Amino acid sequence: MSFVIAIDGPAASGKGTISRRLARENGFHHLDTGLTYRAVAKALLDQNLPLDDVSIAEKTAYELDLSDLDPEVLAVHEIGNAASKVAVMSSVRKILVKAQQDFSLKLPGAVLDGRDIGTVVCPNADVKIFVTADADVRAKRRYDEAVSKGRDLNYDHVLADIKARDARDSERKDSPMRQADDALLLDTSKMDIETAFQAAKAMVDAAKNA
């Protein structure tokens, strides 16, 4: 049986970096499930197709190849926004969740990160961590990251966007973002990424040795 690490949390909480490093550290496979929603959104945007047409989105989800997700290309802010619209569609979620569950079976283990991994995708995960941080801290991280890449962004817009995305992700009917009852909480508001990673690693090590 594969050892499954489920990481959930909002955008810019640090969950992506933590998940990648946990996977590397343990020799496990890693899937950023947000990329699956982003890839569907990008395919629709590229073809000028509507983001709210269920049958078109379903077809696109079916055709998705998990081995062909480019994080660089899919990182674009507008794709993230479009992804959270695609992610409200139950039938699209069903298709992507099945692909994510198949991925979680990979040996010797897998780290999956997203919004509903501990609650829906891998409810029997060996360890579940909900990574979060205050919205203004997360907005500042996104803003600093963009500025360091030479992009000219407005901080207030970034914060408003983060809040809108949080609301859409946590208020949707199907699989809202939520800390699973048996998930450990990791609040990274006052932590740098190294401290946050070490805290997550300690949680995983404790579960492995249990």
Query: Is residue 38 within the footprint of ligand DC (CB under 6 A)?
Result: yes
Query: Is residue 80 within the footprint of ligand DC (CB under 6 A)?
Result: yes
Query: Is residue 114 within the footprint of ligand DC (CB under 6 A)?
Result: yes
Which residue's CB is nearer to ligand DC, number 5 or number 209?
5
Q: Which among 78, 11, 31, 69 has a CA at the least distance from the CA of 51? A: 78
Which residue's CB is nearer to ligand DC, number 66 or number 205?
66
CB of 121 to ligand DC, least distance (A): 7
Which residue's CB is nearer to ligand DC, number 126 or number 166?
166
> Looking at 34-42, 46-54, 60-68, 129-137, which segment touches ligand DC (CB under 6 A)?
34-42
Query: Is residue 87 within the footprint of ligand DC (CB under 6 A)?
Result: yes
Q: How far apart are CA 180 and CA 147, in angstroms?
A: 34
Query: Is residue 169 within the footprint of ligand DC (CB under 6 A)?
Result: yes
CB of 122 closer than 8 Å to CB of 3: no
Q: What is the binding site for ligand DC (CB under 6 A)?
A: 11, 33-34, 37-38, 80, 83-84, 87, 114-116, 165, 169
